[in-house]
Amino acid sequence: MNAPASDFNIRHDWTVDEIVAIHNLPLLDLIAQANATHRRYHDVNDVQKAALLSIKTGGCPEDCSYCPQSAHHREVKLDRVDLLTTDEVLAAAKTAKDAGADRFCMGAAWRSAPKDKRFDSVVEMVRGVREMGMEACVTLGMIDESQAQRLVEAGLTAYNHNLDTGPEFYGDIITTRTYQDRLDTLKAVRGAGLEMCCGGIIGMGESVRDRAGMLQVLAGFDPHPESVPINTLVAVEGTPLAQQQKVDPLDLVRMIATTRIVMPKARVRLSAGRSFLTQEAQILCLVAGANSIFYGEKLLTTNNAGVNEDDALFTALAPR
């Protein structure tokens, strides 16, 4: 394990121009700088496995252009599922733990977390996951301070609420929830003392400057988000972004590396879209500073890399 690093180069005042300049460095220079930063703050052999389960699927009133769970996208073929029972969720968590995951994430397709028995059930799910010895993360839409506090009392590790993209491009992707709405939820999360899991998606038609704008907002938090998932768009038939081209893997490597340099202490999560990557491309993302993957064959409603493929990936990283 690396010795603790000082925070002398932890910054919260990055400009968009500075982040764009980092992103656009010659690729080998960028990866080298990101890898050196990663080694300063992290054990490079520590790659966390996180599992993700959709505990309530479909029917979301938001109009996020990328999301098959939006009720606005009526052509999407998706089976709606009401909130799973606590027993169902905890059984899935045990399966994930037995497969090697040490963080269990639960997502519900709500605009805002409800203030009724459904939220009580989520609190019990969190408590049960923590009693298994796993980290617990939820994404439930917008929450207020009192809800955040209840999740803290249940032992929640982190709350996920992604910004999705930079503030300038955001309105092209979502119109039913403002950027400030997202920031207000993150403020409630921070105020309750929860870890913040917050990142975004590339490949939605945004520019490099938009990607840098998102990282600037994230890096402006003090402290930085403990967890930053970097997703690539999984284009789903029936959504407005169904015809978007797949992201070039090297664009993802650049985004991972830039995130690592700008937020050195965060756990950078290689998230949605990983199923399209070769093993070599995934390893390059890890070299560039990613240190977590979502483990399991599904991410909410989209496919993920298979468990056998991930076992082969970890064998390649640490052959016995």
- Binding-site residues for [4Fe-4S] cluster sit at 60, 64, 67
- Which residue(s) pair with 262 in the sheet? none
Token pair of 138 as six digits? 């939820």
Q: Which residues, in sequence order, are CB contacts of 223 under 8 Å at separation 6+?
A: 265
User: Across the chain, which distance is largest between two alpha carbons, in Å?
Assistant: 53
Query: Which one is catalytic: 103, 105, 260, 267?
Result: 105
Binding site membership: which residues?
Answer: 60, 64, 67, 105, 137, 197, 269
Q: Is 269 labeled as catalytic in the residue annotation?
A: yes
Query: Which one is catalytic: 103, 150, 211, 269?
Result: 269
What is the CB neighbour count within 10 angstroms for residue 146?
10
Query: Which one is catalytic: 64, 103, 254, 274?
Result: 64
Cα–Cα distance measured from residue 280 to residue 271, given in angstroms and rounded to the nearest whole number: 16
Query: Which one is catalytic: 197, 211, 254, 260?
Result: 197
Query: Which one is catalytic: 67, 103, 177, 198?
Result: 67
Query: Coil, helix or strand for 85?
Result: coil
Query: Which one is catalytic: 137, 150, 260, 285?
Result: 137
Q: Is 60 labeled as catalytic in the residue annotation?
A: yes
Q: Please work out, in degrees rounded to the nearest 5, the angle formed at the alpha carbon of residue 10 by the alpha carbons of 7 and 16.
A: 175
Q: Rg of the Cα trace of the chain?
A: 18
Q: Is 64 labeled as catalytic in the residue annotation?
A: yes
Active-site positions read 60, 64, 67, 105, 137, 197, 269
